[in-house]
Structures are given as structure tokens and as C-alpha cells.
Structure 1
Amino acid sequence: MIGLIVTYLLYIFLGIGLIFNCLGSIGLLRFPDVYTRLHAATKCTTFGSIFTSLAVIVYGFALWYKGNTAYGILSLHTIVALAALVITNPTGAHAIARAAHRSGIKPKHAVVDRLEVAELK
């Protein structure tokens, strides 16, 4: 019974992760400028990686529960990698967007550039 629940959780988490990663790819192709593309790529790959990592964690803990201690360690390593990804992915996107703004790349549909006004102060 637990094996069946774990299998369903794996399929659900992998499916959600796949959907988010595909949406990020579509966003890279469809959005008009650097900022919206960066937003789509960052948000979707972050959530896609979270759900894919959750599938690995659930599978690792299920195998650990059956007696394979190495898979419990794999799950702990995945948790650490996921925490690093959740922290660094948005931070990196922010740094790239700020560098693009400072280099003079303007958003396509922006009416008011509040960041430029704030940087002048």
C-alpha cells in the first residue's frame, strides 16, 4: 500500500515539475524582452526543480524505509541541494536583471521606470 502511494506521489511530483519546466521554456520563446523572459525562466525552473527534487526525496525516503541507508543519505543531499537552489536561483536572476538594467536595456512595455528614478537619488 505504501509503495502504491509513493508511486502516485512520484508521478504527481514529476508531472508537476515537467509542466513547470515546459512552461518556462515556452516563456523563453514567447515573452518580448529580457526581464519577462528572465522572470519566466527563474520562476518556472525554480518550481520545476522543487517538485522534481521532491520526487527524488520521496523515492529516497521510501527506499530508506525499506532498509537501504544510502538512499536516505541521497534524500538528505537532495534537500541541501534544493535549499541552495531555492536561495541562489532568484538571487542570480535579480543580479542578471539589475545588470541588464544598468547596461541600458529597457523593458518593452514599461510606462514608468521607477528603478531608474530610485537609482538617481
Structure 2
Amino acid sequence: MLTLVYALVLGGIFFLFIAAVGVVRMPDLYNRMHATSKAATLGVGLILVAVAVFYWELSVAARALATLAFIVLTAPVAAHALGRAAYLSGVKPCEDTYIDELAGHYQKNHKLESVEVKPPASDPSE
């Protein structure tokens, strides 16, 4: 069992290393986000599975797998939101990008802005 834990941790370290190299070596923001959202999620996932296997307790395994589920569900959504915000803000892809599949799908005057939420008006009769 300890061999499985070592293999999972080494696999996780490998994919986290690949994600770090991807952040440093990739030419633009979009490729860097792809490297981090894919490889880092897999690396962290392998390490969390190793934690669950190593401790072999229901409470630890449940927390590790819940954390893994949270990361697997939120990392792609966060990468998509950052990529969309970068695209709408005018961040250009690298010169090797030949096709802009989003061109023409957004209006030229599309702006990213937050919506102000006003508190509900208090009732003077209370």
C-alpha cells in the first residue's frame, strides 16, 4: 500500500512540476492558464488521492475527496472566466495562434463591469 501512495505522490509532483514549467515556458496567458488548470488539477488530485489512501480513514478520505471534487469543479470554471475576461480586455494571443474562434461573437463595445447591488429599501412603517 505504501508503494501505491509513493507512486501517487510522485505522479502528483510530476504533474505539478509540468504545470509550473508550463507557466514559465508557455508564450501567452491563454496557454499558461491551460497548463495550470489541467496539469495542476491532476497533480493536486493525485496527491489528495494519496492522502486518502495513506490514512485509510473515512473522515480523512471524505475530506480529501471533497476537496478534490471542489478543485475539479472550480478550476475549469475559473480558467474560463479568466480567459474570457482577458479576451474581452484585449489581451492578444501569441503570434503562433492562427484562428481566433471568438472573433465576431462579441460586440466591439462589450465592457466588463460589475453590477451595483443596492440594499432593499427599509419600510418606514416598521
The structure whose RCO (Cα within 8 Å, separation 6+) is larger is 1
- Give the share of equivalent positions with the same residue, in percent: 33
Runs of 4+ in structure 1 deviating by more than 6 angstroms, as ranges, are none
Q: Does 1:57 align with 2:65?
A: no
What are the within-5 Å matches in structure 2 for residues 17-96 of structure 1? Answer: 17-61=12-56, 71-96=57-82
CA distance in 2, matches of 1:106, 1:48: 29
Report the RMSD for the aligned CA atoms in angstroms.
Answer: 1.0
Equivalent AA in structure 2 for residue 40 of structure 1: A
What amino acid maps onto 2:28 in structure 1?
D
Task: Tell me the residue number matched to 1:12.
Answer: 7
Q: Give distance in 2, aligned partners of 1:48 and 1:8.
A: 17
In the superposition, the TM-score normalised over structure 2's length comes to 0.80
Structure 1: runs of 5+ lacking an equivalent? 1-5, 62-70
Is structure 2 residue 114 aligned with structure 1 residue 119? no
Aligned residues: 106
Deviation digits for residues 26-81 of structure 1, max 9, x if unmatched?
Answer: 111111100001111111110001100110111122xxxxxxxxx32011111111
Deviates more, 1:12-21 or 1:37-46: 37-46
